[in-house]
């Protein structure tokens, strides 16, 4: 069954008219996503992650392009325990990501202001800063449990593959950006 799944995926990728790339050309949102992160390999092969993974955690996309995921998460086996794996397009993950965008815009405005005008955060602003730092720390955890689309064709839900991909791509950047530098400096300045 695993080999037949991969051969079906390879045949879709190698055919010009039904390739994942051509399926999303008429949807600008999906086209952007596929172009920026999930473009099909030029030689028509399935990416290495699919070839090395087991059938567990890999599902051929059986829903239409741009159709929202109906289930927010599924329970997937990770070692001896089952963990929740969120669909990347479920309402919770999309809302969480949009909240992160709002927090990023806030930080882009407030951090330069505080730095150049030497205006430390106090009161409610301090609470908001703490909330934003906690959000980004939880975002790292959530990303470890959020599936991803591989080559715009397959939803990868294997916790092992999700963690492996995250560790290779954004984990170091996210950890660095999530450090609460303001609070570390505040604590170090107030220490005797």
pLDDT digits (tens, 9 = 90+) for 134-150: 999 999 999 999 999 98
Q: How far is CA 47 from CA 38, 150, 152, 153, 176, in A?
A: 10, 8, 11, 11, 29
Question: With the CA atoms of 103, 104, 109 and 111 taken in that order, what torsion angle do they form, in degrees rounded to the nearest 10?
Answer: 90
The confidence score (pLDDT) of residue 64 equals: 47
Tell whether the model's pLDDT for residue 12 goes beyond 60.
no
pLDDT digits (tens, 9 = 90+) for 149-184: 988 789 999 999 999 999 999 999 999 888 887 777
Residues 119-138 have a mean pLDDT of 91
Top mean pLDDT of 43-57, 89-103, 108-122 is at: 89-103
Comparison of pLDDT for 26 and 181, the residue scoring more: 181
pTM of the model: 0.62
Please state the three-class secondary structure of 115-178 as a single string: HHCCCCCCCHHHHHHHHHHHHHHHHHHHHCCECEEECCCEEECCHHHHHHHHHHCCHHHHHHHH
What is the widest separation between alpha-carbon atoms in the chain?
Answer: 70
């Amino acid at each position: 069954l695993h080999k037949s799944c991969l051969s079906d995926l390879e045949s879709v990728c190698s055919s010009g008219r039904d390739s994942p790339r051509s399926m999303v050309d008429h949807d600008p949102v999906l086209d952007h996503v596929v172009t920026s992160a999930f473009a099909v390999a030029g030689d028509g092969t399935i990416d290495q992650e699919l070839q090395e993974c087991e059938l567990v955690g890999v599902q051929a996309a059986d829903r239409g392009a741009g159709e929202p995921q109906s289930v927010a998460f599924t329970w997937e086996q990770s070692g001896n325990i089952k963990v929740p794996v969120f669909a990347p397009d479920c309402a919770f993950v999309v809302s969480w990501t949009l909240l992160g965008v709002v927090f990023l815009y806030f930080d882009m405005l407030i951090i330069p202001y505080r730095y150049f005008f030497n205006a430390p955060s106090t009161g409610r602003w301090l609470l908001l800063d703490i909330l934003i730092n906690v959000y980004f720390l939880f975002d790292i955890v959530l990303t470890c449990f959020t599936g991803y689309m591989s080559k715009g064709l397959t939803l990868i839900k294997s916790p092992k593959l999700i963690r492996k991909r995250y560790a290779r791509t954004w984990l170091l950047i996210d950890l660095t950006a999530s450090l609460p530098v303001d609070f570390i400096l505040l604590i170090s300045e107030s220490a005797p």
